[in-house]
């Protein structure tokens, strides 16, 4: 993957979500994989081409919203959730304004979602974005005092954080049981695993911690949420379930 000629935004904005596994801010699902890096850019902020390339645009209403690609051979840049496009196709040079930041599609608020791909494979863009210079030669670090726009960005970040937390605690994680006891499926860096609950008290503690949640937060929490018995699964589904290693 080539180094980026420019950072894809004209200003440096704080990161609001990193690349990798996270709690989904929309559904509250644990272990969802975030394929890009998010920045707290406001509505109307300009997105520029980070390197020379061919522009492609499209719309995914229930997901990415208005999206665009910049592709140069195997090097591919993608961005989501735009309000519109300054360029809808053709070859552009690095630094060309191609879209405006917004919150279209599935999104908790205006932000820049930036991805990098190499020959069709998604890669961690963090280092490339951190090293990329701002268009015009400026640095991404800014030691000036906080402006009103900076405070608005911080408020937006806090709002997104709270939305994610509320989603996590209002969405149940399925508790399973078989003749051996109760367990949940947890997502780890190496994939899904079965986490076995040793006692009803451990289930209650896991519920307090948000690992196993009722439909609505309870204070104090219910002693033990109902479990889903594996007998309700097909044999094929049980084969997959018991293929997950125990942690």
pLDDT of residue 230: 78
Enumerate the β-bridge partners of residue 37. 114
What is the chain's alpha carbon radius of gyration, rounded to the nearest angstrom? 22
Strands (E), the chain: 15-17, 20-22, 32-34, 37-39, 46-48, 53-60, 65-72, 75-85, 89-92, 97-101, 112-118, 121-123, 176-178, 181-188, 191-197, 228-229
Domains of the chain plus CATH, in order, are 15-167 (2.70.70.10), 176-241 (no CATH)
pLDDT band at 126 (very low <50, low <70, confident <90, very high): very high
Tens digits of residue pLDDT in 133-188: 999 876 665 445 556 666 666 666 666 655 554 444 434 456 778 887 777 777 66
CB distance 162 to 170 below 8 Å: no
**pLDDT for the residue numbered 241:** 75
Predicted pLDDT at 29:
65
User: What is the per-residue pLDDT across 61-86, written as a single tens digit (0 to 9) for each?
Assistant: 877 889 999 999 999 999 988 889 99
Predicted model pTM:
0.56
């Amino acid at each position: 993957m080539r180094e980026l000629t420019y950072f894809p935004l004209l200003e440096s904005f704080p990161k609001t979500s990193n690349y990798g596994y996270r709690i989904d801010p929309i559904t509250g699902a644990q272990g969802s994989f975030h394929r890009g890096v998010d920045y707290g850019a406001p509505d109307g902020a300009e997105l520029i081409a980070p390197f020379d390339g061919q522009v492609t645009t499209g719309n995914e209403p229930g997901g990415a919203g208005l999206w665009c690609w910049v592709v140069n051979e195997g090097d591919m840049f993608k961005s989501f959730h735009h309000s519109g496009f300054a360029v809808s196709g053709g070859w552009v040079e690095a630094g060309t304004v191609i879209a405006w930041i917004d919150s279209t599609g599935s999104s908790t608020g205006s932000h820049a979602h930036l991805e990098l791909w190499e020959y069709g494979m998604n890669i961690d863009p963090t280092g490339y974005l951190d090293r990329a210079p701002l268009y015009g030669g400026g640095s991404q670090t800014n030691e000036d005092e906080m402006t009103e726009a900076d405070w608005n960005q911080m408020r937006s970040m806090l709002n997104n954080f709270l939305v994610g937390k509320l989603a996590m605690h209002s969405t149940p994680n399925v508790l399973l049981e078989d003749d051996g006891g109760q367990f949940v499926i947890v997502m780890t860096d190496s994939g899904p695993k079965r986490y076995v609950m040793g006692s009803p008290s451990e289930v209650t503690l896991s519920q307090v911690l948000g690992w196993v949640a009722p439909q609505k937060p309870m204070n104090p929490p219910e002693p033990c949420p109902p479990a889903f018995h594996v007998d309700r699964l097909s044999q094929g589904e049980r084969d997959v379930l018991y293929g997950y290693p125990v942690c």
